[in-house]
Amino acid sequence: MAKTAANAPEMQVAIPPMTDAERANLLGHLQTAIEIELSTIPIYLYTYYSIIRVPENTDDLPNGDELATFANKAGALIMSVAVEEMLHMSLACNIMRALGGTPKIYCKSPGNYPTNLPHHKKGFSVGLSPLSSDQMVLFLEIEKPEANDAPPQENNWDTIGQFYDYIKDFIIRKTTDADFMPTKKDPDSEKSQLGDGRGYYSANNVDTIYPKNAYYIKQPLDPYDPVERGASQAQYPNNKDSGSLKTVKDKASALEAINIIMHQGEGYPDTDHKEDDYQKDEETHWYKYNELYKKLKGFTAADMSIMVFNFPDNPTRNSYPTKFHPIVDLANAVYSYLFLMTEASYKLTDEAQASMFYIGMHKGMIFILDKIIGGMRYLQTGNTAGQALAPTFENYQFNSLATAKAELVQLCVSVPASLNLDSNILLRIQDLPDVNVGPDNFVHFN
């Protein structure tokens, strides 16, 4: 704002139209934002899948109740962050689509770990590791709140918040409402976003909910109804008040989308960065991880062996014996297909988009990938460390859109019976939508 004279009313400073170079710059940074989120999702999912959420053989331990309760809560909180990181990726994609860009998601995860987050300062390496206090230190560094006087940073940034501050500042200084509106060249820039009100995003799912006390089921039923008692125990880490999917149609909604991303990660400015919502009833990513870190420091190695699978650090397909390659390939292909469906969703509208994203992502993530990795964990690799078979989250390159689903089906069929793949997985994969969408935007399933 600027004043023309003393005591004169404030006048809005006119913003000139963005140049092609400025638009390309902004779109490039939004693509980087997408890839930052894609870099953290596998890290969080890997640690999540390392957790035995219902650990066995705790009944005779003096701290059995504590171990069982913490393991379930740790899994739920980490998954709750992963869910919001997927939301952040979608919000960045929505801003990009509003500006006329095309988000690139498929095969944009890191090729392997450890790696630096995109455009982060050199020397900060992130990787795949099972649950531990050291891994929580890494998570805290990823979600590290920026200092109050920290400047926006375009490259070599210190915190993700500073990078998003740069994008936010760019939008404030360089854009107008007109930049986010559909054009003749791109009439579907708003309709093709994964917007609110379509049922695409749920703040919580079955994997983010945990009980106050994991031993509540062992307590006498009287005087409570078991259903009512279970409901009273349920804890929901995320809520819609902290932010959800948002259709970007003007400058204000673009800035709101950025604020959702920033506040969920590091919170509103305060001394401990605890809350990410105005109602102050949801914790930030940083605060959730800090609470887990403080608790983890008090557990012994024996405690951890009860709660955590013996996962290797930064595994790759080729680090495993060849007999496991078929199921590792399948897990990586399903993971990559999820992002391929997401990317395809941004080229669709209405029912076609709903079929691709809602049906594809929900089935793919909850009923397919989760079941594949859940079963893999019980296979032993046979190495001297006695490690379990863990997911590698490597990009899987399909030959083409036309054959991607058929390739996925064939990978599933090729998994030998000795690897104990759930028999329902093939049917679930066959039910996924085909990413090879025709010119009529008709989404095929079988």
Are 353 and 231 in a shared domain? no
Give bridge partners of residue 388 from the DSSP assignment: 380
Spatial neighbors of 120 by CB under 8 A, at least 6 apart, are: 156, 157
Are 304 and 393 in a shared domain? no
Report pLDDT for 219.
Answer: 66
Q: The tokens of 445 are what?
A: 């399933």
How far is it, in rounded angstroms, from Cα 79 to Cα 375?
18
The answer to whether residue 5 sits within a structural domain is: no
Question: Considering 314, 336, 369, which residue would you say is the last residue of a domain?
Answer: 314
Are 370 and 310 in a shared domain? no
Are 155 and 266 in a shared domain? yes
Reduced to 3 states (helix: H, G, I; strand: E, B; else coil), residue 2 is strand
Question: Considering 269, 290, 314, which residue would you say is the last residue of a domain?
Answer: 314
Are 103 and 140 in a shared domain? yes
Domain limits for position 384: 316-446
Report pLDDT for 124.
Answer: 81
Are 320 and 202 in a shared domain? no
- At 100, which amino acid appears? G
Give Cα separations from 287 to 81, 125, 271, 356 (angstroms).
11, 21, 11, 34
The answer to whether residue 83 sits within a structural domain is: yes
CB 97 within 8 A of CB 192: yes
Give Cα separations from 322 to 6, 327, 355 (angstroms).
77, 10, 36
Report pLDDT for 360.
Answer: 86
| pLDDT tens digit at each of 446 positions of the chain | 233 344 444 446 789 999 999 999 999 999 999 999 999 999 999 999 999 999 998 999 999 999 999 999 999 999 999 999 999 999 999 999 999 999 999 999 998 899 999 988 877 889 999 999 999 999 999 999 888 889 999 989 999 999 999 999 999 999 999 999 999 999 999 999 999 888 888 888 889 999 999 887 776 655 567 777 778 899 999 887 778 899 999 999 999 999 999 888 766 555 566 655 565 667 889 999 999 999 999 999 999 999 999 999 999 999 999 999 999 999 999 999 999 999 999 999 999 999 899 888 878 888 899 999 999 999 999 888 899 999 999 999 999 999 999 999 999 999 999 999 999 999 999 999 999 986 666 666 55
Report pLDDT for 229.
Answer: 76
The answer to whether residue 325 sits within a structural domain is: yes
- Exposed e or buried b per residue across 88-117, where buried means at least 16 C-beta atoms within 10 angstroms of its C-beta: bbbbbbbbbbbbbbebbbbbbbbebbebeb
Q: The tokens of 15 are what?
A: 């913003």
How far is it, in rounded angstroms, from Cα 425 to Cα 364?
10
Question: Considering 290, 314, 338, which residue would you say is the last residue of a domain?
Answer: 314
Are 132 and 43 in a shared domain? yes
How far is it, in rounded angstroms, from Cα 331 to Cα 370?
9
HEC readout, 40-51: HHHHHHHHHHCE
CB 68 within 8 A of CB 216: no
Q: The tokens of 42 are what?
A: 């596998």
Look at the chain and report how many structural domains it folds into. Answer: 2
Q: At which residue do the structure tokens 């994969």 appear?
A: 429
The answer to whether residue 183 sits within a structural domain is: yes
pTM of the model: 0.93
Residue 214 phi, psi dihedral angles, 5° rounding: -65, -20
How far is it, in rounded angstroms, from Cα 37 to Cα 164?
12
Report pLDDT for 6.
Answer: 45
Q: The tokens of 282 are what?
A: 């949801």
Reduced to 3 states (helix: H, G, I; strand: E, B; else coil), residue 157 is strand
The answer to whether residue 385 sits within a structural domain is: yes
The answer to whether residue 8 sits within a structural domain is: no
Are 44 and 153 in a shared domain? yes
Helix 285-296, helix 64-98: angle, nearest 10 = 160
The answer to whether residue 3 sits within a structural domain is: no
Spatial neighbors of 147 by CB under 8 A, at least 6 apart, are: none
Report the half-sphere exposure of 76 (CA within 13 A, side-chain side). 22
Are 247 and 207 in a shared domain? yes
Are 205 and 333 in a shared domain? no
Where helices occur in 238-281 by DSSP H, the ranges are 251-266
Residue 182: CB atoms within 10 A of its CB come to: 16
Are 205 and 346 in a shared domain? no
Are 114 and 250 in a shared domain? yes
Reduced to 3 states (helix: H, G, I; strand: E, B; else coil), residue 388 is strand
| CATH number, domain with residue 81 | 1.20.1260.10
Report pLDDT for 277.
Answer: 57
Report the half-sphere exposure of 99 (CA within 13 A, side-chain side). 30
The answer to whether residue 4 sits within a structural domain is: no
